[in-house]
Amino acid sequence: MANELEFSPEEKLFLLYLLDRNRNLDKIIKDFKDVIENYKKERLMEELNQVKASLISGKRKIRNGKKIDLKEFALSQGRDIFELSKLLVKSNIPIENGLVDSYTLDVLLGNEKERILPANKGNLEVIFELTKDKLNLQLWTKLVSNYNLVYGDADWPNYEGMLQTLNKPKMKFDKKPKIIYKGVLAKRIYEEYQNHINIEKLAKKFSLSEETIKEFLKKFGVLSREFIGEELSNLESIAGKSIIGLKVYTGKLKQKIRESELEISSDYFNDKKIKYLGLEGNNFISYILFATSLNLIPEKSLIPERDEKKANIMSSIVENNELINNGEIFKGLNIYKGELIESLEDKKFIDMRFNLLNLDYEGGWSSDKEETIKLLFDKDKLENHSFIFMTLNDTAMERIRVIKSRGKGLKGYNTTNQYKIVHNLIMNYAQIYGFDVKELFRDRYSDRVHSMMAFGFKLKK
């Protein structure tokens, strides 16, 4: 370890216990013996031996600290290397020369369900009592500068909470927020926030500044008023900017499809009230186009989003609409965190009916989409004059999934022609419920790698 001689025995003790638990426990105990001559050695050694006995008995498992080759692991487990890499990057797990910490990977994939916590709270307080006089922000910064925290260290938030219970000055880590990001503290703060605890109370509870709390929440898509005011203060920014690093679907061919849908809709709706149901994404691109051109009623419109981060971004924009130039188009708009079909069955929206539906799917046709279309008719969710626009992924892989199904127990279809499947389904249900159906358009485009198909229908009673 670099610069180890610069540390006092007290510093070594604190460092060993918090940051060096990947090593063999016998070696750690030996190191403890070397640095605690002036402390209550017997009591501390008893505590460490209890921990060792607990580990050996199988109640807790020692981390092995081994590195494994990610590509070989993916092949052996039958996992997609691209999807696995994306998951690791999203979870801030470092990949160095293609190698990943094996224990951290197991925890992430659910293969290792135990959390490594070498001692209970009471015993930890004994150890902290031995070092608390030396424990301060300067020492913490010094330790971290020389010994990086290990990602996946699930103990970190627990230790941080325990430190706050001791009778000593509170520690704040605002100067090193990136260290906290590598643990699960952000998730704990987000969970507390979901329980309607405001930012001021969260800052006090976790002994962090309000700005740091906001940074944590932003990782889950919860945007502060300051961020909205500075970064998303107009509709052009919302529709065209990558919000906290998420992709923006602004391809030229896709935009032509949107404009075509608007033109078709304008011929009928003109000044009529629009009750919109849309799959939007966090940039609201289609919604903004419809809402600024037609008489769309936000409080009678619904946008479901199953991705939690994107749903939080959208809710943040809606809740802070007064900070946005022309942001009144979002006032009262209903954002649902979950699947489209779930939103239609939610009691809060049970009486809502729609006349402009924009089902802009990223994937191909599947049984859940079929159930959604059926529910729209069965639950009387469509007004007498309604437009349904739909986009589907029509790559070769998606067509194979259509005919073979997407998983065990799900039925496939007898054709890969997705338009034919949707057309026949809508025609059948329209006949049952007394609608006349008119095909509005059919088109294909490919702004990205994927080949997409878009089409629309007009339903009239």
Tens of pLDDT, residues 336-389? 999 999 999 999 999 999 999 999 999 999 999 999 999 999 999 999 999 999
Q: Where residue 196 falls among pLDDT bands split at 50, 70, 90?
A: confident
Bridge partners, residue 439, by sequence: 457
Q: Residue for token digits 């994927």?
A: 450
Q: What is the pLDDT of residue 278?
A: 96
Count of CB atoms situated within 10 Å of the CB of 110? 7
Q: Which two tokens stand for residue 397?
A: 């892989």
Q: What is the pLDDT of residue 191?
A: 83
Report whether pLDDT(424) > 90. Answer: yes
Q: What is the pLDDT of residue 342?
A: 95
Nearest-angstrom CA–CA distance, 402 and 58 = 46
Strand, coil or helix: 443: strand
* Across 165-194, average pLDDT: 53
Q: What is the pLDDT of residue 359?
A: 97
* Across 29-51, average pLDDT: 54
Architecture in CATH for domain 230-460: 3-Layer(aba) Sandwich (3.40)
Q: For residue 65, how far is the Cα from the chain centroid? A: 27
Tens of pLDDT, residues 250-269? 888 999 999 999 999 998 99
Per-domain boundaries in the chain:
67-108, 182-218, 230-460
Q: What is the pLDDT of residue 56?
A: 46
Q: What is the pLDDT of residue 59?
A: 40
Q: What is the pLDDT of residue 417?
A: 92
